[in-house]
Copies of this chain bind each other. A is one copy, B any other.
Amino acid sequence: MKSNPGRFFEDFCVGEVIVHATPRTITQGDAALNIALTGSRYALFCSDEFAQACGLAHAPIDPLLAFHIVFGKSVPDVSLNAVANLGYAEGRFGAPIYPGDTLTAHSHVIGLKQNSNGKTGIVHVRTTGLNQHGEEVMSFCRWVMVNKRDAAASIVDAPAPELLPYLSAVQLTPPPGLDFSHYDFALAGSPYAFEDYAIGEKIDHVDGVTIEEAEHQLATRLYQNTARVHFNAQTAGERGRLIYGGVAISLARALAFNGLANAQMLLAINAGRHVAPLKAGDTLYAWSEVRDRADLGAYSIGALRLRLIATKNRACTDFPLKLADGAYDPSVVLEFDYWAAIPKRG
């Protein structure tokens, strides 16, 4: 059979490196679509002149767009038969990505653990994205629950190394050249600098966006993510097409502009979890919590560790997250923990 059936749990082997298909030259066309699909307004990614004033060659590609594209490459090899995308950790961004750069991706299988039901197992991979110079532009771990082809197959577990719950500030490396010394707060859309955010502070991002089938399908195809659950209404039946989790991340992060306009540059993804399914017709809202702060030293660069929560069909005025019993509030669809660079007032 020449079409790709996808790997089942017993097809993975710890230590193996899987080279993913379809190298991709990211262009200004992709960047424009990213704006149309998310409404993102972070100035650093929208204006060559703003980016140059921040020490970069010109406006880089939104790291989340690049993340979704690298993630998408791994789908046919890692998660075509996945039951669930369970989480991310240890996401780091390296060299900034500019229009014209070409991304390739590969994944190391770093852990395999069969579930007690014998029908599924959890696969851990570390996926790396490289540019055309062979420089690492990102790496992240993710783990997915994958069906076994044959429930009787016997697999020796090889648990993944323990992953960090979050990167510490000393592990953060801002893009070479980044310099917020001459940052224009008015053009960026907010007067709030690193110094203005306190640990524990919560921010309601106010706006809500209702998502259409065509929108999430266009986004997911732009990422060349082929997971079937996003595209086929016929096989989805009553439960409907599932929106790719990355769409929720990017929409929530675009909403977060309203309150975090200067938290421009993603430095790390500490953790991510898609808590509940999102469907077309749902309205997405978001709020953020400041979990940590770090002065990165020179060039007026600070970093905020932020927890971004996205909900469906419920505004975030009262910061919904968990119920009294510890379970997630039923409105919550995403919990996403990241570090972002933000200018110090200096």
Hey, which bits of chain A sit against chain B, CB under 8 A? Answer: 2-5, 19, 21-25, 27-33, 35-39, 41-43, 46-50, 58-59, 76, 99-100, 102, 104, 132, 186-190, 192, 196, 203-210, 212-215, 217-219, 221-222, 224, 226, 228, 231-235, 241, 258-261, 281, 283, 313
A-B residue pairs in contact (CB < 8 Å), sample of 28: A3-B203, A3-B206, A4-B259, A21-B189, A22-B188, A22-B189, A23-B43, A23-B187, A24-B46, A25-B48, A25-B59, A27-B29, A29-B31, A29-B32, A32-B33, A32-B222, A35-B224, A36-B219, A41-B224, A46-B224, A48-B102, A76-B189, A209-B217, A209-B232, A210-B233, A210-B241, A214-B214, A232-B283
Query: A192 — which chain B residues lie within 8 A by C-beta?
Result: 2
Among the listed B3, B38, B196, B212, which residue makes an inter-chain contact with A214, where contact means beta carbons less than 8 Å apart? B212
Distance, CA A48 to CA B221, complexed state (A): 19
How near does chain B come to A8, taking the closest CB pair, in angstroms? 15
Query: A47 — which chain B residues lie within 8 A by C-beta?
Result: 22-25, 102
Distance, CA A36 to CA B24, complexed state (A): 13
- Given A32-B29, A259-B3: A207 in contact with B221 (beta carbons within 8 A): no
Distance, CA A28 to CA B28, complexed state (A): 7
Among the listed B28, B132, B232, which residue makes an inter-chain contact with A207, where contact means beta carbons less than 8 Å apart? B232
Distance, CA A231 to CA B38, complexed state (A): 11
Distance, CA A76 to CA B4, complexed state (A): 41
Closest to A4 in B: B258
Q: Is A46 within 8 A of B25, CB to CB?
A: yes
Distance, CA A203 to CA B313, complexed state (A): 43
Query: A42 — which chain B residues lie within 8 A by C-beta?
Result: 22
Q: Is B23 within 8 A of A281, CB to CB?
A: no
Distance, CA A43 to CA B28, complexed state (A): 18
Query: A25 — which chain B residues lie within 8 A by C-beta?
Result: 46-49, 58-59
Distance, CA A44 to CA B204, complexed state (A): 44
Distance, CA A64 to CA B200, complexed state (A): 44
Query: A27 — which chain B residues lie within 8 A by C-beta?
Result: 28-29, 31-32
Closest 10 A/B residue pairs (Cβ): A29-B32, A21-B189, A214-B214, A23-B47, A39-B221, A210-B233, A3-B259, A27-B28, A29-B29, A212-B214
Q: A3-B204, A3-B206, A27-B32 are in contact. List 14 more A-B contacts (CB 8 A).
A: A2-B196, A3-B203, A23-B50, A27-B29, A29-B32, A35-B222, A36-B218, A36-B219, A47-B102, A208-B232, A209-B217, A212-B212, A234-B283, A234-B313
Query: A219 — which chain B residues lie within 8 A by C-beta?
Result: 36
Query: A39 — which chain B residues lie within 8 A by C-beta?
Result: 221, 224, 226, 231
Distance, CA A283 to CA B232, complexed state (A): 7
